[in-house]
């Protein structure tokens, strides 16, 4: 993909700041941005917490992106603030991009102290709004920043109301993913499924907010009508043991599979008859976009930006969150009608291909960066065009 905006950023120096480094949505977006910008000719530094999981450093290995680790031992740390400003100065960063609340606040202060541009992205839900001190701190960060970015229109509306920001101060950039087609999935063999077995797949860490308990309850509700239906969840987390125990209580443990953390999500999706997103809260979940690009029929809850992503139900079946009966009923409607399922999958793939690709997301961020960088800090715009190429 060639963009004139990207051409103007060759040689620019970016820092990407985040307070966590597990394989979550915000971390994956950051990794994609840093990797693609690096490949396009800019210099990129990623600042991550020390003593974390190390997922980001592993993901960025071999890309040319530099990684530096920080320690933040308490919420308010002048020591960390000074370290961050010095790190941005030492790497001659021209624009800092922070992700989520803590780095938005520290990044805005450090960037202002160094005299460089700063933007921040909020992912997911309205978690920042629980305390007035957080609202005030985030409002100050927005005031000090060149651009405030959200991944969904719903979160943008909350920000405008919660922080008293004008609509012009907020840019919405939906998440995007790259689709790598998988010719033949190995998942069904891995689970020892027969040809007549049906498989519903979910992707997400095993936390209460992801709603997997309701998907398990839905599987139990469908046990008699669909005795060959299996559910597999790709993810890890604190609910692994409770979910397995509940599956035994419901007598569906032989058809309920926890796959753990998977790096082959394309392979997992390719083996599925149905993708289910049972979440209780979301922004624009990457797993949903990956399922859409893989042309899987989808049943998802009406949380966050999900109804918009699924075009009001035209690209997937929408159900209320926290309702196992509704979730199971929607799954029946898809599993019992193969033609309907194929139509949903085709509609999902078409919509994601138009609005939610990695290239589209990168282009939108590049446009924001180009607007925020003053001409004096931009590289020579006469240099040759560059390409961000998807393999």
* pLDDT for 376: 56
- The two tokens of residue 374 are 């003053």
Q: What ranges do the domains of the chain cover?
A: 4-177+357-377, 187-355
pLDDT recorded at residue 74: 86
The two domains 4-177+357-377 and 187-355 share their CATH topology (first three levels equal): yes
pLDDT of residue 381: 45
Sign of CA dihedral 278, 279, 284, 287: negative
Superfamily of segment(s) 187-355: Glycogen Phosphorylase B; (3.40.50.2000)
- Percentage of the residues of the chain whose pLDDT score is greater than 90: 86
Pairing of strands 43-49, 117-122: unpaired
Query: Coil, strand or helix: which one is 55?
Result: helix
For the segment 228-241, the average pLDDT, to the nearest whole number, is 96
CA atoms of 309 and 305, how far apart (whole Å): 6
Q: What is the chain's mean pLDDT, rounded?
A: 92
43, 116 in Cβ contact below 8 A? no
pLDDT of 378 reads: 56
Could you identify the residue written with the tokens 């079946």? Answer: 317
Judged by phi (left if over 0) then psi (alpha if -120 to 50, else beta), residue 378 lies in beta
How many other β-carbons are positioned within 10 Å of the β-carbon of residue 4?
11
CA dist 185 → 87, 108, 132, 265, 318 (Å): 45, 45, 49, 10, 27
> Which residue has tokens 């600042």?
47
Q: What is the DSSP letter of 171?
A: E
Average pLDDT over residues 65-82: 93
Environment class of 161 (CB within 10 Å of its CB; exposed 0-12, middle 13-18, buried 19+): exposed
pLDDT tens profile 140-178:
999 999 999 999 998 999 999 999 999 999 999 999 999
What tens digit of pLDDT does each residue of 349-367 get? 999 999 999 999 999 999 9
For residue 360, the model assigns a pLDDT of 94
Pick the CATH number of 4-177+357-377 from 3.40.50.970, 3.40.50.2000, 3.40.50.720, 3.40.50.180: 3.40.50.2000
More confident residue, 76 or 277: 277
Most confident among 100-104, 162-166, 376-380 (mean pLDDT): 100-104
Decide the pairing of beta strands 117-122 and 95-99: parallel
Rounded to the nearest angstrom, the gap between the alpha carbon of residue 111 and the centroid of all alpha carbons in its chain is: 25
- Average of per-residue pLDDT across 25-36: 95
Q: Angle of helix 101-114 relative to helix 132-144, nearest 10 degrees?
A: 40
- What is the reported pTM? 0.88
């Amino acid at each position: 993909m060639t963009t004139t905006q990207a051409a103007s950023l060759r040689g620019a120096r970016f820092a990407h700041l985040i307070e966590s480094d597990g394989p979550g949505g915000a971390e994956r977006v950051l990794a994609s941005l840093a990797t693609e910008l690096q490949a396009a000719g800019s210099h990129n530094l990623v600042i991550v917490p020390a003593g974390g999981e190390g997922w980001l450093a592993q993901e960025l290995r071999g890309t040319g992106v530099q990684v530096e680790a920080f320690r933040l031992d308490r919420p308010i740390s002048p020591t960390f603030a000074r370290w961050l400003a010095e790190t941005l100065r030492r790497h001659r960063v021209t624009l800092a991009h922070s992700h989520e609340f803590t780095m938005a606040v520290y990044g805005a202060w450090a960037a202002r102290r160094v005299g460089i541009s700063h933007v921040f992205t909020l992912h997911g839900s309205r978690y920042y709004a629980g305390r007035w001190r957080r609202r005030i701190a985030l409002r100050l960060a927005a005031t000090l920043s060149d651009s405030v970015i959200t991944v969904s229109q719903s979160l943008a509306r909350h920000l405008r109301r919660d922080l008293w920001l004008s609509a012009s101060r907020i840019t919405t950039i939906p998440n995007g993913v790259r689709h790598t087609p998988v010719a033949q999935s190995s998942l069904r063999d891995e689970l020892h499924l027969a040809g007549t077995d049906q498989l519903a797949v979910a992707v997400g860490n095993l936390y209460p907010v992801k709603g997997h308990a309701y998907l398990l309850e839905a599987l139990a509700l469908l046990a008699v009508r669909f005795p060959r239906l299996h559910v597999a969840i790709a993810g890890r987390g604190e609910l692994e043991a409770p979910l397995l125990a509940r599956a035994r209580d419901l007598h569906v443990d032989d058809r309920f599979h926890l796959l753990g953390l998977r790096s082959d999500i394309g392979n997992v999706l390719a083996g599925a008859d149905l993708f289910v997103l049972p979440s209780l809260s979301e922004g624009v979940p990457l797993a949903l976009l990956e399922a859409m690009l893989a042309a899987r029929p989808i049943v998802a809850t009406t949380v966050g930006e999900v109804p918009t992503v699924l075009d009001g139900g035209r690209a997937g079946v929408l159900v209320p969150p926290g309702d196992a009966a509704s979730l199971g009923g929607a799954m029946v409607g898809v599993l019992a009608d193969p033609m309907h399922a194929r139509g949903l999958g085709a509609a999902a793939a078409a919509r994601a291909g138009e609005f939610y690709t990695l290239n589209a997301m990168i282009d939108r961020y590049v446009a924001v960066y180009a607007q925020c960088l003053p001409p004096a800090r931009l590289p020579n715009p006469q240099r040759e065009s560059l390409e961000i190429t998807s393999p």
